[in-house]
């Protein structure tokens, strides 16, 4: 029985959204850079495993828009969340939730979307800090799952996939089994 879901990956700039998606796919389909706002459009990453097809939507970092490009990027994020079956909020394990994360939690709550919190960069902080950050997020929203990871070092990614599998529903796949992204080859090569 085939299952699928569109899962939006959202969070502030430079928290590791593209790194997480690339690591989950095992392919580099999204550009990764230390420069904020590298991802300017939604990038789709498609992972087909057995009967399951995960469609990850890598989104621009959520920020306060200061120009037309910023407005466009935020519209892209809202559209991606609105069309998703579930959301992965990715946040820095060493930082308390800010207004951006609080707004995402409110949006997820109002849309009644299933959501997973992925706390990234655990390789840069101690366990106590991770535990404090989890508690701060738990006070904001009752996530379906909380998974501490290091996307860069590919630590705990199997836990993310195990939890993401719970978001899948029965239905036909939207993409061919061998498709991994909606990006043209030229973009991936760049």
Q: Work out whether the CA dihedral 61, 66, 70, 75 comes out positive or negative.
A: positive
pLDDT in tens, 49-74: 999 999 999 887 664 545 554 454 45
Q: 65 or 46: which carries more pLDDT confidence?
A: 46
Residues 187 and 180: their CA atoms lie apart, in Å, by: 13
pLDDT of residue 10: 92
Angle, helix 157-165 to helix 17-25, in steps of 10 degrees: 80
16: phi > 0 → left, psi -120 to 50 → alpha, else beta; which?
Answer: left
Judge whether 116 and 142 are in contact, CB under 8 Å: no
pLDDT in tens, 77-124: 555 566 789 999 999 999 999 988 998 898 889 889 999 999 999 999
CA distances for 96 relative to 101, 104, 129, 137, angstroms: 9, 14, 10, 8
Q: What confidence category does residue 13 fall into, taking pLDDT thresholds of 50, 70 and 90?
A: confident
Residues 170 and 133: their CA atoms lie apart, in Å, by: 34
* pLDDT at residue 34 is higher than 90: no
Q: 88 or 43: which carries more pLDDT confidence?
A: 88
pLDDT in tens, 171-183: 999 999 998 987 6
DSSP 62: P
Judge whether 113 and 86 are in contact, CB under 8 Å: yes
pLDDT of residue 27: 85
Judge whether 156 and 110 are in contact, CB under 8 Å: no
Q: What confidence category does residue 188 fall into, taking pLDDT thresholds of 50, 70 and 90?
A: very low
Residues 47 and 52: their CA atoms lie apart, in Å, by: 8
pLDDT in tens, 139-149: 999 999 999 99
């Amino acid at each position: 029985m085939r299952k699928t879901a569109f899962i939006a990956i959202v969070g502030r700039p430079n928290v590791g959204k593209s790194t997480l998606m690339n690591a989950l796919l095992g392919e580099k389909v999204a550009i990764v850079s230390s420069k904020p706002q590298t991802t300017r459009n939604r990038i789709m990453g498609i992972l087909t495993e057995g009967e399951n097809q995960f469609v990850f939507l890598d989104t621009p970092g959520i920020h306060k828009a200061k120009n037309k490009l910023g407005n466009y990027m935020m519209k892209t994020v809202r559209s991606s969340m609105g069309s998703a079956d579930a959301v992965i909020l990715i946040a820095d394990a060493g930082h308390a939730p800010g207004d951006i994360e609080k707004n995402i939690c409110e949006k997820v709550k109002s849309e009644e979307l299933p959501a997973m919190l992925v706390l990234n960069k655990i390789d840069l902080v101690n366990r106590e800090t991770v535990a404090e950050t989890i508690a701060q997020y738990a006070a904001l929203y009752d996530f379906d799952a909380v998974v501490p990871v290091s996307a860069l070092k590919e630590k705990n990614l199997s836990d993310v996939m195990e939890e993401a599998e719970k978001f899948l529903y029965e239905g036909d796949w939207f993409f061919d089994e061998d498709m991994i992204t909606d990006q043209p080859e030229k973009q991936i090569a760049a």
